[in-house]
Amino acid sequence: MKNKTTWFDWSFMGLGLLVQVVTYCITSVDLSSLRSPALLPEALSPLSLVSGCLGVCAVCLTAQGNILTYAFGFAQVITYTWLCLRAHLYGAVAINVYYFLTMIYGVYVWRRRLRPEDGRVRTRTLPRKLWLSIVAAVLLLSVGVGMLLQHYTSDPSPYLDSFTTVVSIVAQILMILAFRDQWFLWLAVDVLSVAIWLHVGDYCLMAQYVFWCLNCLYGYFRWRSLGISNE
């Protein structure tokens, strides 16, 4: 039986896009919502809305196991990197450069893992011991990188930025290799990213990450429906 894109898949993506548009419209009216006046020109620019919408499409297509996620992903990375530069989130800038480079390889890997019956990626799962080792390594690295950001940059949230950066590096690798365990790591990143953009005052991007939290749950169960192949 073919695993076609369902009405729920499209409705869920439409909900995410609607959230982005509504949040942007509300935020652009209330200029006083910004906590940092220096960020005013960028945080309320259409670029935030564009980046958010591209991100919604990318993560929803990832959840569906659709290789078109990479087309939207490249565009989202470029726009989001610029916004992070303006907000002095240097760890986020670095991770987005990493995303861009790894997605090039990701296209190659996914093309080789597409299921012939429906064009969706064949997923797999990590052994429990390897999963626990990854979690321990992520926690240790996050503390170390956070200390570096605190002492050598003007990053306003060094440890939050550090954790999201380290976890994102690992989650991106798992996503490219089609491990469904990636969704637990992305959920941790997205929850903390909500806090980061709330602190900055960009509610459009904050709304994007709230939706991405929901997408992690959607993606996990969607990938389970794609079955498991440990090839």
Has residue 42 got a pLDDT over 90?
Answer: no
Tell the residue number behind the tokens 């169960």, with chain if given.
221
Q: How far apart are CA 197 and CA 42, in angstroms?
A: 13
Residue 230 covered by a domain: no
Q: How far apart are CA 181 and CA 189, in angstroms?
A: 14
Q: What is the pLDDT of residue 39?
A: 45
Q: What is the mean pLDDT of residues 33-58?
A: 68
Residue 44 covered by a domain: yes
Do 212 and 190 touch, CB atoms closer than 8 A? yes
Residue 1 covered by a domain: no
Task: Dump pLDDT digits (tens) for 119-149.
Answer: 889 898 999 899 999 999 999 999 998 999 8
Question: What pTM did the predictor assign?
Answer: 0.79
Task: Dump pLDDT digits (tens) for 69-115.
Answer: 999 999 999 998 988 888 777 767 887 898 999 999 999 999 999 88
Confidence of residue 185 (pLDDT cuts 50, 70, 90): very high
- Torsional class of 201: left (φ above 0), alpha (ψ -120 to 50), beta (otherwise): left
Residue 2 covered by a domain: no
The number of distinct structural domains making up the chain is: 1
Confidence of residue 168 (pLDDT cuts 50, 70, 90): confident
Domain with 15 in it: 7-225
- Residue 125, Cα to own-chain centre: how many angstroms? 20
